[in-house]
């Protein structure tokens, strides 16, 4: 079994939380690695402690139930490992690819390992049924303080050539933009989009950022519509410019508040068919 020490200095941590989406995550992580010289793709499988899935109000597990859950986790881990080995054989990754299998609490391990990576990659939790992806996503966004590449289930590997930046002059968006520089430098086209009445004045901050980096960009400012959400407007503009990556901040007001009352991040999670590069 691998240990946490196997994580490299320039690791792109690919969190394989669900069997059906493992190859999708690996493909997206490999695309991300192409922008980072000397990067290593680390495929993470967490063999979840059975007690990590039990609510405090639920009854105590029997030894038979615990054993059954452990066997299920072991089977899932073996399937994921087989998928990884087959992917390495067929994809022939240009960056070193490592398998990392650890046992314990999912949130704690994703936090510990994800905080040491350059980038974390996971499938969009809104497109899968399992709860493990949502837990891992939550840990990536709120606990690692590292950027996250969120991959839709329908993703097909292609370079991130046309990038749309969903701009709002907030700390999460600025962090996302700074972290995305390696990918922005590889792009053929960058479009900065601001939605709302203050968009034109807010765009100046982003334009200054790109000028300082020596990157060319286009700016678009659109009015906020009353018949749809900002998140859906951003995705509509992404289709117009044929973007293959969206860069944005995440959960400005917190996950629970945005889930209950609505927010840009939750709308993007529910509706996107694009990979999203985000930072909280």
Is residue 143 located within the same domain as residue 24?
yes
Same domain, 58 and 114: yes
Helix (H) / strand (E) element for 6: namely none
Any idea which residue has 């038979």 for tokens?
Answer: 64
Phi, psi of 41 (to 5 degrees): -85, 120
Task: Answer yes or no: do 142 and 196 share one domain.
Answer: no
CA–CA distance from 266 to each of 97, 180, 216, 256 (Å)? 32, 21, 30, 10
**Chosen domain end from 128, 151, 174:** 151
Q: pLDDT digit string (tens) for 166-198?
A: 988 888 888 999 999 999 999 999 999 998 766
3-state secondary structure of 156: coil
Domain boundary among 120, 151, 182: 151
What pLDDT was estimated at residue 83? Answer: 97
* Residue range of the domain that includes 114: 4-151
Residue 181's CB is within 10 A of a number of other CB atoms, namely 14
Residue 209 is assigned to a structural domain of this protein: yes
Inside any domain, residue 173: yes
* pLDDT in the model for residue 65: 78
141 and 176 both lie in a single domain: no
Asked if 9 and 69 sit in the same domain, the reply is yes
**Whether 11 and 112 share a structural domain:** yes
pTM: 0.87
DSSP-H helix ranges across the chain: 22-33, 63-91, 106-114, 131-143, 171-179, 181-184, 199-213, 230-240, 255-261, 264-271
CATH number of the domain where residue 142 is located: 3.40.50.620
Q: Is 156 left (phi over 0), alpha (psi -120 to 50) or beta?
A: beta
pLDDT score of 62: 80
Please check whether residue 82 lies inside any domain of the structure.
yes
Walk along the chain (280 residues) and give the pLDDT tens digit of each residue: 444 455 777 999 999 988 989 999 999 999 999 999 999 999 999 987 666 555 555 556 788 877 887 788 788 889 999 999 999 999 999 989 999 999 888 889 999 999 999 999 999 887 555 577 888 888 998 899 999 999 998 899 899 999 999 988 888 888 999 999 999 999 999 999 998 766 677 788 889 999 999 999 999 988 888 888 888 899 999 999 999 999 998 765 444 434 333 467 778 888 888 999 999 8
Whether 110 and 24 map to the same domain: the answer is yes
Q: Is position 42 within any domain? A: yes
For 79-127, the DSSP string reads: HHHHHHHHHHHHH--SS-EEEEEEEE-HHHHHHHHHTTSSEEEEE-GGG
Does 157 map to a domain? no
Examine residue 102 and state whether it is found in any structural domain, yes or no. Answer: yes
Return the pLDDT at 50.
61
Indicate whether 205 and 126 sit together in one domain.
no
When divided into structural domains, the chain yields a total of: 2
Q: Does residue 156 lie in a domain region?
A: no
Q: Are residues 145 and 167 in the same domain?
A: no
Q: Does 12 lie in the same domain as 66?
A: yes
Q: Are 107 and 138 a contacting pair, CB within 8 Å? A: yes
Q: What per-residue confidence (pLDDT) applies to 186?
A: 95
Structural domain includes residue 213: yes
Domain limit, last residue, from 104, 120, 151: 151
Give the per-residue pLDDT at 257: 35
Query: Does residue 135 sit in the same domain as residue 39?
Result: yes
Whether residue 175 sits in one domain with residue 133: no
């Amino acid at each position: 079994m691998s240990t946490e020490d196997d994580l490299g200095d320039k690791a792109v941590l690919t969190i394989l939380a669900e069997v059906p989406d493992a190859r999708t995550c690996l493909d997206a992580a490999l695309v991300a690695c192409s922008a980072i010289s000397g990067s290593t793709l680390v495929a993470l499988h967490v063999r979840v402690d059975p007690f990590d899935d039990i609510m405090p109000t639920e009854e105590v597990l029997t030894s038979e139930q615990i054993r059954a859950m452990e066997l299920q986790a072991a089977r899932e881990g073996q399937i994921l490992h087989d998928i990884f080995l087959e992917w390495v054989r067929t994809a022939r990754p240009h960056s070193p690819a490592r398998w990392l299998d650890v046992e314990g609490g999912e949130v704690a391990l994703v936090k510990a390992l994800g905080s040491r990576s350059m980038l974390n990659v996971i499938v969009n939790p809104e497109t899968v049924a399992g709860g493990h992806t949502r837990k891992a996503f939550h840990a990536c966004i709120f606990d690692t303080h590292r950027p996250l590449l969120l991959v839709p289930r329908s993703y097909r590997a292609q370079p991130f050539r046309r990038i749309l930046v969903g701009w709002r002059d907030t700390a999460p968006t600025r962090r996302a933009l700074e972290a995305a520089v390696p990918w922005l430098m590889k792009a053929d086209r960058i479009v900065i989009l601001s939605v709302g009445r203050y968009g034109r004045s807010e765009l100046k901050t982003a334009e200054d950022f790109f000028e300082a980096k020596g990157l060319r960009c286009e700016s678009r400012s659109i009015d906020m519509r009353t018949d749809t959400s900002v998140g859906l407007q951003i995705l509509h503009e992404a289709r117009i410019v044929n973007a293959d990556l969206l860069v944005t901040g995440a959960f400005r007001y917190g996950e629970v508040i945005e889930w209950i009352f609505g927010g840009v991040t939750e709308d993007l999670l529910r509706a996107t068919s694009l990979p999203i590069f985000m930072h909280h």
